Amino acid sequence: MRRQTLVVLMVGIVLALAGTPSAVGSSMHPSNTGAMMLMGINRQGMQYPDWTNYNINTQDFDYMTTVFPRMNCVQLDLKLNLLMPRSLEGDYGTINEAYATALDDWVRWSAPKGTKIIMGLHYWSTNYYGYYPADLFTNPERLKGVQAFYTFLARRYRDSPNMIGFDIVNEVRVLQPSIAQYKSFVEATIDAFRQVNPDLIAYVQTIDFSSRQSFSWIETTPIERPNVVYVTHLYCHNWTTGAWDLDTPWAQYYINGDYKKAFNLLKDALYARFGRLKDLGYNVRVGEFAAPLNTPGSLRYLQDVLSIFDSWGISWAYYSWGTNVPNVLNHLVKGGSDWQTLNPQASVLEIYVGAMAPARRS
């Protein structure tokens, strides 16, 4: 995640029914696995150089899946040069085996529980939070590196059916590629990993991912490959302080406790900006979202967002389980030195993926 104010209303909607053709001119994968209803957690940690400090172990995984036994998906955000430490220099054969083994653990832990794994490229830089090389979309060598990254993962988990797909590039708006550049890059990456495993789902983030921007590029210049899911994120707060972004029309109503008005504004905005894609036959998913503060209004907002997702058949991954430092977003678990105490947000998620939630695994 980028530490700055994000006015981001990014909603992902699993919009196509299984086997329904895409409206964009290329037929969907026969099983349209991208239309699975996935509900789970984006597990922070593997994208950072100090990933070993994020309590990544089988005990924590078991606890997370005990709290949310109906959860059926975990997303892992990765850093390319943690897996391939010399990749920025063009060496894609040198592998960090400790990092690769940690990914193996995630796949191994999740398989008996029926939990799907999505892996994604979150960062590729020497900086802690840095995104990517500036020439990611203009230098053919960078495309080669991303292809090598995903080809390695596809080959390593080819016989692991719970590893279902790749979130190809995170928050690409930081580089402002043209639609043509982005489309070419994504399609070439999909072609590379599907030579190894043609069943992998391609999760493609929208170029700007902002609630203030249209998804019209998807309608006019779609990714022309089967079994594609368009990924969005949903944030309407300041990442550093957790304060509401008051430019969002529903924020003040949640703050003031006028929840009926807030819900109607929220639902109308989501449908106007993204809900219409359901009728056009696209698969879309929320890859990240969170409640901004641990307040009654924020928790009601989280409840409303999840109810909209549920009523529209939207897949989602909450960001995130926990972090190694205090964070005003109040992740689902305290984190830091305490990976047991749950925050109130967890009780809202339990409605949908807790022990008493309906059994709706895909």
Instruction: Supply the range of the domain harboring residue 104.
Output: 5-353
Structure tokens at 225: 């490959």
| 358 found inside a domain | no
| 98 found inside a domain | yes
- Summarize pLDDT for 239-297 with one digit per residue, the tens: 778 889 888 999 999 999 999 999 999 999 888 777 777 778 888 898 999 987 889 99
| 55 found inside a domain | yes
Q: What CATH number did the domain enclosing 143 receive?
A: 3.20.20.80
Bridge partner residues of 232 (DSSP) = 286
How far apart CA 116 and CA 330 sit, in angstroms, is: 25
| 222 found inside a domain | yes
Q: How many domains does the chain have?
A: 1
Cβ contact 354:70 at 8 Å: yes
pLDDT of residue 238: 81
How far apart CA 161 and CA 343 sit, in angstroms, is: 32
| 360 found inside a domain | no
- Summarize pLDDT for 117-126 with one digit per residue, the tens: 999 999 999 9
| 359 found inside a domain | no
How far apart CA 355 and CA 350 sit, in angstroms, is: 7
Cα of 59 vs its chain's centroid, Å = 23
Residue 26: which of 282, 276, 206, 209 has the closest Cα?
282
| 246 found inside a domain | yes
pLDDT of residue 362: 54
Amino acid at site 358: P
Q: Could you list the pLDDT tens digit for every one of the 362 residues in the chain?
A: 433 333 333 333 332 323 332 333 233 333 456 678 999 999 999 999 999 999 999 999 999 999 999 999 999 999 999 999 999 999 999 999 999 999 999 999 999 999 999 999 999 999 988 899 999 999 999 999 999 999 999 999 999 999 999 999 998 888 889 999 999 999 999 999 999 999 999 999 988 755 455 577 888 899 999 999 988 888 888 877 888 988 899 999 999 999 999 999 999 988 877 777 777 888 889 899 998 788 999 999 999 999 999 988 889 999 999 988 766 666 899 888 889 999 999 999 999 999 988 876 55
| 361 found inside a domain | no
Contacts of 139 (CB under 8 A, 6+ apart): 133
pLDDT of residue 14: 30
